């Protein structure tokens, strides 16, 4: 999966299941895969 596809999937997930989006975001952060983060929604949540 390309990085832009992963970002799009994560952004869509935020709209559908916020809890699952949060779990996926945590996994990305722990794996230091920062370029795949949904930064806009992450900032909104913080």
Query: With contact defined as beta carbons under 8 Å apart, do 27 and 10 qualify?
Result: no
Higher pLDDT, 4 or 29: 29
From first CA to last CA, the distance across the chain in angstroms is 27
pLDDT (0 to 100) of residue 34: 96
Domain boundaries, the chain: 3-45
Does the pLDDT of residue 45 top 80, yes or no?
yes
Does the pLDDT of residue 24 top 80, yes or no?
yes
pLDDT digits (tens, 9 = 90+) for 4-18: 888 899 999 999 999
């Amino acid at each position: 999966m390309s990085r832009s596809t992963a970002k799009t999937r994560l952004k869509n997930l935020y709209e559908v299941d916020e809890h699952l989006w949060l779990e996926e975001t945590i996994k990305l952060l722990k794996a230091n895969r920062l370029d795949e983060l949904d930064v806009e929604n992450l900032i909104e949540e913080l």
